[in-house]
Structure 1
Amino acid sequence: MARRTKTPVSFDAELSALPPELRWREWMGRVEAVIFASPEPVTREVLAKVVGRDCSLDHLIDDIRAELRGRPYELVAVAGGWQHRTRKSFAEAIQVATGRGTTETKPLSQSEALVLLCIGYFQPITRGELSQFFGREISRDTIGHLRRLGFIAAGPRAPQPGAPYTYVTTREFLAHFGFDTLRDLPDMDALEDAGLLSKDRLLAGDIPLGLGAGEPDDEELGEEVEADEES
């Protein structure tokens, strides 16, 4: 006997049967619900699945943000999508009530933070180039820790002898630090335009970049690329 399959219920994204005002309100509710339910920033492509083809997501997001004014949470653009986040002014109250935020979940040493900053500005970049920036070897341990935290990933191989791997930042990097895109990195354009932040000048040694007193040197660890990066 043939097995009967249940006919899937089609999802009405257009809502053409509703008056325009009610349709807009329903789209707003759908978009906010999807963002609220997601632990990660939700992209435009995902949200487009629950609204009509002629719906302006930018205007829709603006209306949701307007309704959230005065609320303890807001809708923010981060890592190429949107996410609900509590407002910074309520951070202390959340810490007192729940203990959350009292410890850094993804701690970085001073040297790791500086390495991550350089990768953010100058990606794709090799470990060898990073070592030139700092005037000391940047170990595979440092790179591996940043990778385990999800802040960086292997990029394309560099056009250099041995074709070493480059490193690039990830969406997790953007989300963790509250950036929508890399263009949101602090004063990147102004620093570059002023000639204060230049990959070529740093590699040439024209801009000293130290780790500060008291920072221990990482142990040099052999090869440029770890075995797991070959996969």
Structure 2
Amino acid sequence: MARARSRPFDPALAGLPPEARWRAWMGHVEAVLFASPAPVPREALARVVGPECRLDALIADIGDALRDRPYELVAVAGGWQLRTRAEFASAIRAAAAVPEEARGGALTAGEQLVLAAIAYLQPVTRLALSRMLAKEVSRDVIARLKRLDLVGAGPRAPEPGAPLTYVTTPAFLARFGLASLRDLPDIEALEEAGLLDPNGTADTPSDPFDAMLGLSGEEA
């Protein structure tokens, strides 16, 4: 028995009436978001809907449809992603039976402080970070942030020795729920939160990003 050929994908869905076509587009986009472990950029979503689709309006309708669900659609790292809502994080961790101390992606207060400084000052050298935080920023801290894909190498600094600089990554944006670096609050908010002392000393609260951004940085 011959196998039936699969029909070529038709993003335009021109044969459907407008209301049915809109619902189908919503289904296509939500399926793509559900299947992706990373934020999906606009250009990828545009490939699964017709050229006449108003993608922003479609995204808004999907968000409205998920209003009462334990997960939501968020704009993050230059795209969109389905994420469980923060209030369900403890239930997810309990189901996974992962003790708090075993969660390898958790950051110490010192690591969060260095990451915050990189986010604001990038591209920035390790020496400049140490001067700004008034304490040595070790290579081990930088290396761990790089292993977690939160920090990457930037351009060489235009100074003697051309030292490496460091910048944040798209994974940093995704982890902290930021659409872009423009979503970071003003530098004054960093100082008001007690994270950085303008006189050159640094405070290290237990969760700097919670204080600065109201974000946990945890992946549910």
Bin the TM-score by the shorter chain.
Answer: 0.7 to 0.9
**Given that residues 120 and 187 in structure 2 are in contact (C-alpha distance below 8 angstroms), is that contact kept between their aligned partners in structure 1?**
no
Partner of 2:177: 178
Q: How does 1:135-214 map to 2 (within 5 A)?
A: 135-185=134-184, 187-188=185-186, 191=189, 196=191, 206-210=198-202
**Given that residues 121 and 188 in structure 1 are in contact (C-alpha distance below 8 angstroms), is that contact kept between their aligned partners in structure 2?**
no
- Runs ≥4 residues deviating over 6 A: none
Counterpart CA distance in 1 for 2:115 and 2:179 is 17
How far did residue 101 of structure 1 move? 7.6
Gaps of 5+ in 1: 1-6, 214-231
How far did residue 46 of structure 1 move? 0.7
**Given that residues 115 and 130 in structure 1 are in contact (C-alpha distance below 8 angstroms), is that contact kept between their aligned partners in structure 2?**
yes
**Given that residues 125 and 165 in structure 2 are in contact (C-alpha distance below 8 angstroms), is that contact kept between their aligned partners in structure 1?**
yes
Instruction: Indicate the SS of the match to 1:143.
Output: helix
How far did residue 102 of structure 1 move? 4.0
- What RMSD in Å do the two structures reach over aligned CA positions? 2.6
Instruction: Indicate the SS of the match to 1:165.
Output: coil
Instruction: Indicate the SS of the match to 2:80.
Output: strand
Gaps of 5+ in 2: 206-220
Distance 1:74 1:101, change over 3 A: farther
Counterpart CA distance in 2 for 1:105 and 1:184 is 26
Counterpart CA distance in 1 for 2:189 and 2:89 is 31
Counterpart CA distance in 1 for 2:67 and 2:16 is 27
**Greater gyration radius:** 1
Partner of 2:216: none
For residues 129-173 of structure 1, give each alpha carbon's deviation from its aligned partner in whole angstroms, at most 9, with x where no partner exists.
Answer: 111112233222221111111100001111111211111000111
Counterpart CA distance in 1 for 2:182 and 2:109 is 23
Partner of 1:68: 66
Q: Give the TM-score of the pair, scaled to structure 1.
A: 0.76
Give the percent of matched residue pairs that are identical in Structure 1 and Structure 2: 54
The one-letter code of the counterpart of 1:99 is A
Instruction: Indicate the SS of the match to 1:125.
Output: coil
Partner of 2:97: 99
For residues 167-188 of structure 1, give each alpha carbon's deviation from its aligned partner in whole angstroms, at most 9, with x where no partner exists.
Answer: 1000111111222211222x32
Q: Give the TM-score of the pair, scaled to structure 2.
A: 0.80
